[in-house]
Structure 1
Amino acid sequence: MSPTDLPTDAATAGAPAPAPLLTVRGLRKSFGTNQVLESIDLTVGRGQVLALIGPSGSGKTTILRCLNGLEVADGGAITIGGEVTIDFGRVPAPSRRDLAALRDRSAMVFQHYNLFPHKTVLENVLEGPVVVQRRPRAEVTAEALALLDRVGLGDKIDAHPFELSGGQQQRVGIVRALALRPQLLLFDEPTSSLDPELVGDVLRLIKELAVEGWTMVIVTHELEFAREVATEVAFVDAGTIVEHGDPKQLLRNPTQERTRQFLHRLLFPF
């Protein structure tokens, strides 16, 4: 299991940064009078991992939903893979086909799993590649079985979501995303709904994907995980990116007071 375009030796120390896989410029989004995103700029290189941290309601999930075409931004532009650019400020507005192009190149792993309750594990994984992407069922089934076996769910293909633990459901959600063969993986608080003892399995799987070279944007409150896995961390607050940079530097010694306040409250909640 590996992405279509793995990073090359250019990602090693002293070499040029990898070419951008994701570029976001001036992304804006409002819900009614509530300005949720204000001119978000992001760049994620191929094979890199961006962790988005910040308080609840800061706009992190809305960023992911715009990247996946689940929300229509009010302005700005998103480019994925250097091939698809969606300009949300243009007239006429982006069409359903434009938004589908974003979803063709990205896949979301949701906080609350979002599995179809009436479908089996295997059927949940097959739905997108077979029904939406119209790929051959036999080919997709073979890939799905291999992926499920890899994450320890090879014996659960006929189970329904209610028969699985939270950690197992989230691993199905990750397999479902991988089965779409995306260029970009999006994770929205992938461990926040899990019991503490189940968090480790999901984080280990995401770490493995990072090592394999998948390009990812992850919304998380797991600071140690972000420090280990991410190539860059961005602190989001009130719909803006307050600061971003190397995880080890930013999480240890942020330059902005608002970032310092957030990290202190997260590390010392009482």
Structure 2
Amino acid sequence: MTDSATDEAEYRVVAEGVEKAFGDEKVLKGVSFKVVRGTATAIIGPSGSGKTTLLRTLNALDRADAGVIRVDDVELDFTKPISKPEIRKFQSRSGFVFQGHNLFPHKTVLQNVTEGPVVVQKRPKDEVVAEAVELLDQVGLAEKQDQYPYQLSGGQQQRVGIARALALKPKLVLFDEPTSALDPELVGEVLSVIKDLAVEGWTLVIVTHEIQFARQVSSQVLFTDQGIILEQGTPEQVIGDPKEERTRQFLDRILNPL
């Protein structure tokens, strides 16, 4: 658990008692955790344990059924009616990097990155374009700005997805298994960009199966299983010396597959 002595103002994310069901299946069962500003939190666990649903509740892509979530200065109490403007304000605090890129196929790389700030945030186009070019340079794709997604590798498309999320100037960046759809040789280039963001002090929450990456980049690791956070702490605690037998079993299967 994040240090309880940390002042509330230092938390970028506070989630308390978050619940979510799809039909009769309860996917999240009263999940609570906090994320300190400027740190990376990794969410690990078996498939079907609620990792992606938990991440999506932090952007209200999946609206929780119960609980309270605060991201930066916007808090939603999901036990009460919530208006569309409240949801939009909540969503504006975070950027989401999807597993499958989700780029606009008919728009260039630069247009993909500038779309949100110009259309949604109504910011001046000249300013947004200048910032987008800098972001593409940051993720190693400055020379690709006039190309279309189909002309890029999967790793390059994912890096465009990261630049697109950063272009919104979010307080929080959410990554949903950002390397799971990539060929193995392309994984490193995406993880390298995310590591750089962590070093720069962005607040990140990353759902990942890359355990060694989680160990290197995160300040906090959450291990989820069957809709609850079974174990949480530093990478050294959760990955290096897990207390729960279920955590040990999972890590052993991932780290020692043969």
- How much does 1:269 deviate? 2.5
Q: 1:73 aligns with which of 64, 69, 75?
A: 64
Q: Partner of 1:52 in structure 2?
A: 43
Task: Give the letter for the 2:93 counterpart.
Answer: R
Matches of 1:213 and 1:96 in 2, distance apart? Answer: 31
Task: Give the letter for the 1:44 counterpart.
Answer: V
Q: Partner of 2:183 in structure 1?
A: 195
Determine if contact 1:50/1:218 at 8 Å carries over to the other structure: yes
Task: Give the letter for the 1:172 counterpart.
Answer: V
Matches of 1:236 and 1:46 in 2, distance apart? Answer: 22
Counterpart secondary structure, 1:182: coil
2:209 is equivalent to residue 221 of structure 1: yes
- How much does 1:133 deviate? 0.9
Task: Give the letter for the 1:105 counterpart.
Answer: R
CA deviations over 1:26-81 (Å, ceiling 9, x no partner):
11000000101010101001111110000111111111111112111100011111
List runs of 5+ in structure 1 lacking aligned partners: 1-14
Matches of 1:185 and 1:269 in 2, distance apart? Answer: 31
Q: How many pairs align?
A: 253
- How much does 1:268 deviate? 2.2
Could you tell which deviates more after superposition, 94-103 or 198-207? 94-103
Q: Partner of 1:247 in structure 2?
A: 235
Q: Partner of 1:85 in structure 2?
A: 75
Q: Please list, as runs of the form range in 1=range in 2, the aligned pairs for 1:1-270 lying within 5 A after superposition.
A: 19-81=10-72, 83-90=73-80, 93-270=81-258
Matches of 2:193 and 2:54 in 1, distance apart? Answer: 23
Determine if contact 1:233/1:250 at 8 Å carries over to the other structure: yes
CA deviations over 1:189-240 (Å, ceiling 9, x no partner):
1111111111111111111110110001000111111111100101001110
Matches of 1:142 and 1:86 in 2, distance apart? Answer: 34
Q: 4+ residue runs of structure 1 moved beyond 4 angstroms?
A: 15-18
CA deviations over 1:148-186 (Å, ceiling 9, x no partner):
122221111111111100110000000000000000000
Matches of 1:73 and 1:28 in 2, distance apart? Answer: 6
Alpha-carbon RMSD: 1.3
Determine if contact 1:69/1:100 at 8 Å carries over to the other structure: no
Q: Partner of 1:11 in structure 2?
A: none
Matches of 1:40 and 1:101 in 2, distance apart? Answer: 23
Counterpart secondary structure, 2:102: coil
- How much does 1:102 deviate? 1.9
Task: Give the letter for the 2:30 counterpart.
Answer: S
